[in-house]
Amino acid sequence: MQIETVSSPRAALALFEGRKFDAIISDYMMPDMNGIEFLKAIRASSNIPFILFTGKGREEVVIEALNRGADFYVKKGGDAISQFAELLNMVEQAVARREAEESVAYNLQYFRALIENSMDMIVVVDRDGKIRYISPSVKRVMGYDPEEMLDSPLAIYVHPEQRNSVSKAFAMPISQAEAPTYVQFRIKHKNGYWLELEAIGSPRRVRDEWLVIANVRDMTERKKMQKALERREEEFRSTFDKSPVGTVMGALDGKFIRVNDAFCRIVGYSRDELTGITMVAITHPDDVQESAEGMRKVVSGESGQFRTEKRYVCKGGKIIWGRTFVSLIEGRSGEPARLLVIIEDITEHKIAEQDLIESEANLRALFEAAGDAIILHDVETGEPVEANLETLKRFKASSIQDLRTKLWNQPPYSLDDAMRLIRKAHEEGPLSFE
């Protein structure tokens, strides 16, 4: 303990302005001003513990000192050791009490600031459902000043369809005095529209009275977002399920998570049969490596998407062709989450394509094997674009370019004659001439 002494109240006031002390012990009779006047000067700017230690024991001095804010009054006289021990005890008590008061005041100020600046509303409701306190945030949430709602029933602001349930929810914790209760309800804004709120109320006994202290949060925007999300999810489910092409939602390792009816029709498996297996399991062995590599690049981010035409092994062993498109679905933080795979059955197209290739090969064989000279001319220019082997043989040409040179050097034919005949054949149909 450090003690600083001065000879007059004015010197003490001057010292007090630049220093911080825990307590003041003052005499009554002093130069410049007495102990009561010194106490008044101190209390004008500080609540520091103040102990009047004097030989003046008049009752009116004691009463005035205590009324002016003195913490203790100690009369001089008697055993010095005992008296100073008592004085020390009073100093410790006064300092401890002042520290406790300051701590309580700080906590009150701190929690008041939390409540008054909270985005949520703090509402205190009594047994009758009347609002005993509501935080200033009600102005931002509901448009009312707190004073407008004090002592009014909470239920008058609640949607008529929910008044009974909300009243019961707030009465329950009071009657049970147990765990907090949770309730969602609509409440009317001062401007007439409805808000979606949620409240958690806890019972508290305050001065022999049970009250419910509730934290009330505005859920309106979150509810709107939730409904919008539900609509989007429903639209996605509808689009996914009703898509005319096969659509698959897969895990990053290729396992089926969700498939639509069109995909089940394509591969012949039911949803239950596809659960737990991978895309690789129904991919033709010759196409597995390319397919796995393409999906790996999509998952790793090396490629934004993967397109391919590959074969699938259907239930029962049937092989079909599918034009396949693979893309990545990201999670909320942008991390890879799912694979979206779209498969179009192109088996008939592939069969037709193969038939066309075979037909062209047959026609080419007939074209080359023909015993007559056959020349294909460009309709626009009249130039020969293709000729069979018999033609090249007859004109003694080594190539189609050589044929073009030699063809028009065979009188009496010319390019103009050829163009006239080609146009006539194009307009009228096949011609026969010598």
Which of these, 154, 140, 295, 285, lies nearest to 211 by C-alpha position? Answer: 154
| Nearest CA among 413, 407, 415, 336 for reference residue 375 | 407
CATH superfamily of 243-350: PAS domain (3.30.450.20)
Lowest mean pLDDT among 13-17, 287-291, 422-426: 422-426
| Residue 405 pLDDT exceeds 80 | no
Q: Residue range 25-31: average pLDDT?
A: 85
Tell me the mean pLDDT in the region 80-94.
79
Provide mean pLDDT across the span 94-101: 78
379 band by pLDDT with thresholds 50, 70 and 90: confident
Tell me which CATH homologous superfamily contains domain 9-113.
Response regulator (3.40.50.2300)
Q: What are phi and psi of 53, to 5 degrees?
A: -120, 100
Residue 190: predicted pLDDT = 93
Residue 192, pLDDT > 90, answer yes
* Mean pLDDT over the full length of the chain: 84
Residues 100/82, Cβ–Cβ less than 8 Å: no
Residue 369 has a pLDDT of 79
- 64 in Cβ contact with 56 (< 8 Å): no
Looking at residue 124, its amino acid is V
Residue 345 tokens read as 């059955």
> What would the pLDDT profile of 255-275 be if each residue is shown by its tens digit?
999 999 999 999 999 999 998
Domain range 119-223, CATH class: alpha beta
Half-sphere exposure of 408 (CA within 13 A, CB side): 15
368 vs 372: CA distance, rounded Å? 10
| Least trusted range by pLDDT, from 148-157, 278-287, 304-313, 397-406 | 397-406
pLDDT exceeds cutoff 90 at 195: yes
**pLDDT of 318 over the 90 cut:** yes
288 vs 254: CA distance, rounded Å: 12
Q: Alpha-carbon distance 31 to 153, whole Å? A: 62
CA dist., res. 194 & res. 186, Å (int): 6
Q: Which residues pair with 25 in a beta bridge?
A: 51
Q: Where are the domains of the chain?
A: 9-113, 119-223, 243-350, 370-428
119-223 and 9-113 share a CATH fold = no
List, for residues 10-21, the tens digit of each pLDDT value: 888 888 887 888
CB neighbours of residue 114 within 10 Å: 11
Average the pLDDT over 404-409 and give the result: 70
Specify burial of residue 375 (Cβ count, 10 A radius: 0-12, 13-18, 19+): middle
Q: Which residues pair with 199 in a beta bridge?
A: 183, 216
Q: In what order do the strands lie in the sheet with 336-345?
A: 256-259, 246-250, 336-345, 319-330, 305-313
Position 189 scores a pLDDT of: 94
Predicted TM-score (pTM) of the model is 0.47
Q: Dump pLDDT digits (tens) for 109-163.
A: 656 666 666 778 888 988 888 999 988 889 989 999 999 999 999 999 999 999 9
